[in-house]
Amino acid sequence: MSKSSKSSSKHLPNDPTTLSSTLFTTILLFDTISTHKTHSKKHQSLLLQLSIERLFLITWGKTLGLLRDKGHNPRPLDARLNSIETRNVITNLLTLIAGGFSERGGLERLRDDEVIVTREGFEWTHVNLRCLSKKLQKKAAAKKKVFWVVSDRSRFSALVKEIRGYNESLNRVLPAG
């Protein structure tokens, strides 16, 4: 293996645990979008569409054995995830999804004193990872959670469509079920 291919692949996951962590972190980003009571019906519709894409990721991850429900027997890891190339493509797609959560996606960062409860009335406790390394847990705990509010409806709409496209690509690369 050449030196350049070693350096480019070291940033990509080498095992399913890292892929599970990446998927879990990406799903958590969906919970940082704030739903404000003054949002219009169109904003609420976009937020619902985003929730659908989030649910797709959760279902997809559970079906492949990357995520599990608390208290249930975990599904075995899908054998297709043994391919490094497949894991690399999936990680790149998840990274693209996560990258949309920014001002570019029609979102505006909330200051600490503006943070409001997200996903009010909903419990998002069903997603648990089979395992996370202690190192990854420490990194995640050390990072400050950022909350976003929709500031540009048209750009946010484009973000939702972009995420839908990435989810469709994930399902083409590794169909669930």
Return the SS3 of 76.
coil
Residue 160's φ and ψ, nearest 5 degrees, are: -60, -45
Question: What is the distance between the alpha carbons of residues 67 and 77, in angstroms, rounded to a whole number?
Answer: 9
Q: Is the pLDDT of residue 175 over 50?
A: yes
Confidence grade of residue 119 (pLDDT, cut at 50, 70, 90): very low
Q: Is the pLDDT of residue 135 over 50?
A: no
Confidence grade of residue 151 (pLDDT, cut at 50, 70, 90): confident
Tell me which of 21 and 107 has the higher pLDDT: 21
DSSP state of 34: E
pLDDT score of 123 = 30
Confidence grade of residue 171 (pLDDT, cut at 50, 70, 90): very high
Find the length of the chain: 177
Confidence grade of residue 141 (pLDDT, cut at 50, 70, 90): very low
What's the predicted TM-score (pTM) here?
A: 0.68
- Cα 37 to its chain centre, rounded Å, is 24
CA of 125: how far to CAs of 20, 95, 118, 133, 167, in Å? 16, 23, 14, 20, 22
What is the average per-residue pLDDT within 74-91? 91
